[in-house]
Amino acid sequence: MAKRLHLIGLVAALLAAVATPASAAGEPRMTLEEKVGQLFVTYAYGATADTTDPAHVAANRKELGVDNAKQLIEKYHLGGVIYFAWAGNTANPAQTAGLSNGLQSASRLPLLISTDQEHGVVYRVGEPATQFPGNMTLGAARDPGLARTAAGIAGRELRAMGINQNYAPDADVNVNPLNPVIGARSFAEDPQLAARLTAAQVDGYQGGGVAATAKHFPGHGDTAVDSHTGIPVITHTREQWEELDAPPFRTAIGSGIDSIMTGHLVVPALDPSGDPATLSKPIITGLLRERLGYRGVVVTDSLGMAGVRQKYGDARVPVLALKAGVDQLLKPPNIDLAYNAVLKAVRDGELTEARIDESVRRILKLKRDRGLFKNRYVDPKPVVGVPSSLRAAQDVADHGTTVLRNSVLPLREKPAKVLVTGWGTTAEPAPAKLGQALVGRGAATTVLPTGAKPTQVQIDAAVAAATDLNVVVTNNASAEQQRLVKALQDTGKRVVVVGVREPYEVASLPGVTYLATYSYARPALESAVRVIYGEVGPRGKLPVTVPGHFPFGHGLAWRV
């Protein structure tokens, strides 16, 4: 029989109502298998916990070895589940709430149900939930109060749908314009501004009932490699790390943040072994736990990412992460392999059961602090996206929209005809959203989305359709997007570029009127139209430097 631990004190109190069997003294007990299960967080396909949808069942069998989430929880005693839109988990608020309640019913202990709802350019729950522009917009707005309000609303809406842990805010300080994975997910290149806004969002999320998660420790802001596809190496000295990367994590800890996510980053000045931070005891235990004094839950970034898989095999990674000091193991590429690898490491003596108990206690304390032992269920008809919340999102966007270069705004007269073209996808139809806003103002609007790399045929069609006002959406402007903008400029007609991600691209778009929204959320695009039409004046200030072109803090402004 598996060795059992008598959970006393705090954990005993947490589990008293749900744990069985009990010892003679009345103390609840957990098996080793149950305790190891508490460490894992993974996904499952399906709109319900017991889905019978053939496509979702087939995907679950192929990737997880079970039919549905209910079987997954029962087999591995999971401590948490993560939601994704691509897994069919977040179709609408009522469906998501029903899934959350179903998952909680399937588990003996309350589950941490998480997602990545950073807003801006990373979100898993779409409309009708309130969509905020995101971190870099908040950095441009420079207002911790707005950051706190946004996170509070987002937290309450997530909790209403049964999501009780959010992998936000991103606390990385984006000092590298070539960063391929953080960019607009960061508040700013200024560590003190990022720190103030991180602390405000921690207060907001957790005040809204959701565990906040600062990421990606020790800081992913100065990388030119995406840790999804490679191993970033950060060459900051220890002194540079203290000055540039540490401040947002320090303020998050000072604000009582519930969880911190590790980054799959090699930082030789912090650990010369070459191990990524997720697997580094000097970084997780020595720096985060001992130096910074963090006592909360440490969760890994996805263990399916290349940054953590290239040096060790998938059976070693979860064991090494636990030895480093993490608590939650997120999204291993093979849940059965990872779960049994941890069990084996304990039974072989590589990991002690006392070490497992440390993480279990932190996880259970977090669940208690979020009120899950009192009530893990939510109303099956959650209320989200109410008018006051939508107004708050629009207020954030209006404070953050930044005009970097201008020759035509504000418009003195409303144009009769408008062309909207440029970047957009089926999932993120930015030109269509802009078109809707313009039609609502009486403009005859032509919408010609081109995707990320407009073809010459698409460029020619846009030139042929050029009219009184031509609005081009760009997203990290590719060479093809640059040619589209130049071709429309060459018509001699008015052109306005709306940049919906990092503003560094303005350097490759000379001479054109340029608005940075840092986001393609609906409020951000509405704000761009408001500025173009002179309904509001631009108020945002660049939260990053555009090297050789615009300094940190640049932003044109005018009264309306």
| 440: CATH | 3.40.50.1700
Tokens describing residue 180: 């391929």
The answer to whether 228 is a known catalytic residue is yes
Q: Is 517 domain-assigned?
A: yes
- Last residue in a domain, options 352, 369, 386: 369
Are residues 474 and 347 both part of a single domain? no
In a shared domain, residues 434 and 325: no
How far apart are alpha carbons 181 and 32 in whole angstroms?
37
- For the chain, the domain total comes to 2
Question: What is the rounded distance in angstroms from the CA atom of residue 73 to the CA atom of residue 85?
Answer: 20
The domain of 298 spans 4-369
**216 and 173 in one domain?**
yes
Q: How far apart are CA 37 and CA 332, in angstroms?
A: 13
- Considering the domain architecture, whether residues 93 and 216 belong to the same structural domain is answered as yes
- Which residues, listed in sequence order, are joined to residue 91 by a DSSP beta bridge? none
381 occurs within a structural domain? no
Contact 276, 228 (CB under 8 A): no
Alpha-carbon distance values, 18 to 21, 54, 105, 442 (Å): 9, 34, 12, 60
In a domain, 63, yes or no: yes
| Whether 188 contacts 242, CB under 8 Å | no
pLDDT in the model for residue 23: 35
User: Tokens standing for 536?
Assistant: 């509001």
357 shares its domain with 504: no
Domain boundary among 345, 369, 393: 369
* Domain match, 309 and 428 both: no
Looking at the fold, whether 509 and 438 belong to one and the same domain comes out as: yes
- Catalytic residue (choose from 50, 53, 226, 228): 228
* Predicted pLDDT of residue 25: 34
Q: What is the Cα–Cα distance from 517 to 64, expressed in whole angstroms?
A: 39
Answer whether residue 392 is part of any domain. Answer: no
pLDDT at residue 559, rounded to an integer: 84
385 assigned to some structural domain: no
Instruction: Identify whether residues 426 and 340 lie together within a single domain.
Output: no
* pLDDT tens series, the chain, 560 aa: 333 444 434 445 444 433 433 333 333 589 999 999 999 999 999 999 999 999 999 999 999 999 999 999 999 999 999 999 999 999 999 999 999 999 999 999 999 999 999 999 999 999 999 999 999 999 999 999 999 999 999 999 999 999 999 999 999 999 999 999 999 999 999 999 999 999 999 999 999 999 999 999 999 999 988 888 898 999 999 999 999 999 999 999 999 999 999 999 999 999 999 999 999 999 999 999 999 999 999 999 999 998 899 889 999 999 999 999 999 999 999 999 999 999 999 999 999 999 999 999 999 999 999 999 999 999 999 999 999 999 999 999 999 999 999 999 999 888 999 999 999 988 889 999 999 999 999 999 999 999 999 999 999 999 999 999 999 999 999 999 999 999 999 999 999 999 999 999 999 999 999 999 999 999 999 999 999 999 999 999 999 999 999 999 999 999 88
The reply to whether 122 falls in a domain is: yes
Q: Is 557 part of a structural domain of the chain?
A: no
Threshold 0.75, pTM exceeds: yes
First to last CA, the chain: 75
CA–CA separation, 298 and 325 (whole Å): 8
Same domain for 287 and 406, yes or no, is: no
Residue 431 and residue 365 share a domain: no
**Residues 188, 173 contacting (CB under 8 angstroms):** yes
Max intra-chain CA distance, the chain: 86
CB 531 within 8 A of CB 395: no
Task: Show the CA angle centred on residue 348, arms to residues 344 and 3, nearest 5°.
Answer: 75
Q: How far apart are CA 206 and CA 194, in angstroms?
A: 18
Q: Domain containing 175 — which CATH number?
A: 3.20.20.300
**Residue 8 domain flag:** yes
Token pair recorded at residue 133: 């522009």
Tokens standing for 486?
Answer: 């130049």
- Name the DSSP class of 279: G
Q: For residues 223 and 100, state if they share a domain.
A: yes
Shared-domain flag, residues 194 and 338:
yes
The amino acid that residue 255 corresponds to is S
Given 301, 398, 399, 554, the catalytic residue: 301
Residue 469: the pLDDT is 97
Q: Would you call 5 helix, strand, or coil by DSSP? A: strand
Q: Is 143 a catalytic residue?
A: no
End position of a domain, from candidates 324, 350, 369: 369
Which of 202, 114, 193, 195 minimizes the C-alpha distance to 158? 114
